Structure 1
Amino acid sequence: MEINQITLRNLTKRYGDKIAVNISDLSIQPHTFTCIVGKSGCGKTTLLRLLAGLERPDANHIADSMAANPSDIAVNNVGPRGESPAVSISKANNIDYPESNTENKIASGITGLPAKTAPVFQEPRLMPWLTVKENIMFSLKGNGNALRPAQTKVTKSSAAQNQNNSGLKQQTRNKAGDRPLLSSPASQPVTDCAEEQEDRCAQLLRELELTDAASLYPAQLSGGMAQRVSLGRTLFYDPDLILMDEPFSALDYFTRRNLQDMVLRLFRNQPKTILFVTHDVEEALLLGDRLLVMENGAIKADLPVPFPFPRNAADSEIQKMRRQILELLA
């Protein structure tokens, strides 16, 4: 599927008298890694929330969208302020707000949003009743309803029988058969496709170095492990656009560097369009191929990051660019 560039024109968001976002013209090319830096309160997180559909632009609409159908909504990560899970709408190129009055919709200037978008926030926001593996596969049965742990075990034959009996819920069990994986009103019996999903999850567990922790629960994980699970959940959902809001800010230096390397490796293996917000200029220069400096809701500078990978923070050219950006932020 062809992914279009994302274009923002005349996009504004105000909170009372304060202008949080005021972007006149910005384009994001597909399969690029764009880092956004700026002081606290400059609008970085609000911009991501607008793109994720967690906030409305002042115009109350994102251009050319279609009305949401609940059956087309896929569960993604939970919002940073306790909202219901963020969703992406698979039948439209842009996000719509189902509760909006269609007659009052005015184009805000955001176009080209891909069908599947996933936010990754500072906190992992894992489901405490699910294991690591189940959290990663959380979006598998997403249909707009929260998933609940299954209460009973079923076999393929019994699931098939249930399918023929109206009113009976179907449940999905994991490949080993020792306990159900996830269940929801839309659950289906285990199929070859489900086995492929199991294989995908196993591969992600290996890449994220979580194989030995697959059966653990969030309360048993370190901060770095929990953030890896959150990243795995996003990658399993396989979005076209990933919005990362300071995902490593609460981690120690060594864990943060490990996760930075992991994100770069995963990005090279499976390119995505990534917008990555950070306060750490050095982090932005190590990860991004483009760097946006925000100030008072606007884009103050738009800079290419031309250094080849792998990058070394001690490199003289990187340090020179770091000083230039810090001067812009001063």
Structure 2
Amino acid sequence: MMVPVALRIQAARWGRRPAARRGRRPAARGAGTPTWERNHLTIPLKTPNNYQAGDASPGDLDGEGDYELVVKEQNNPRDPSQDGRTGQPKLAPYDTDGTFLWRIDLGINIREPAAAHQLPHRRRHEGAPQTRHHGAVMPSCGASRRRRRAGAGSAVAFKRAARSLPTLGRMNLHLQTLVDHAAWANRQLFAALRDVDAFASQKGADLILRVLDHVHVVSRIFQAHLQGVSHGYESTQSAVLPALEELDRGSEAIDRWYVETTASLGPEELARPRDVRFTDGKVVPMTAATMILHVVTHTIHHRGNVDAIMVQCGMPRRRDGFPEFLVSRASAT
């Protein structure tokens, strides 16, 4: 159930970006920035149940010259100096006409409030929310939106044009690189686990297998979504926990599929929107590119979980960071 909330924004922080940033001559000095007749804008929010709207920041997420608003959705927030569990914070951008764009769940590895850093970019804004151990990059939306049509109900439709897809069209290479790195890093992880003597009897082995099984199931579910077929899973965990060897083979196969599929999809195919039903019943509008990106970031998140368990249990690890991946790829060519 979505709870509507009204959020007011000071108009002084809004308006269009300078014309020079859009390839046109800037306004004459002293001309000023046009504002609204009123000094605020009211936007209805689709905040999830048990969540409240927190901080909000404006930014041009798609490079079209208009600002969007990124709202932090929080549940049981606590200052980092305070003990106790917090909820899973989310980031949700809105267009100035109130259109909900998408939502990112930052997961359980981030405390609230969290610092968010805006990264400068020539044509769009990117943000990096600070997590407990690592930064999770929030990419720019990179797309123009088609306004809600009459009779469309509550569904939000997106029009993803290749010319306005900096991360999915002209920068599709970046998405491919992320997928390639995820596959390579998974190989490093499984190689390290195979090197553990009597892994199945080690402390933490069962938890590691459950995390890896969850990653594999989610990857299979989104493989089916990308193929447009039913996945048959009722949860994100296998009914019977597989052994390490089976997960190793399954991970290598699904990773190879994502590498090849990402390379085969063109900008229009990556940008085609569809409604994706999650196993908990919620329906989220996603493109092929955002589904692939979700699988990559989901894998990175849980690979970090496994790495933390390995550290706590004294298991040997292998370096699987992005710099190591780039060095490995350069040495192979």
State TM-score, norm by structure 1.
Answer: 0.31
Query: What TM-score do the two structures reach when normalised by structure 2?
Result: 0.31
| Larger RCO (alpha carbons 8 Å, 6+ apart) | 1
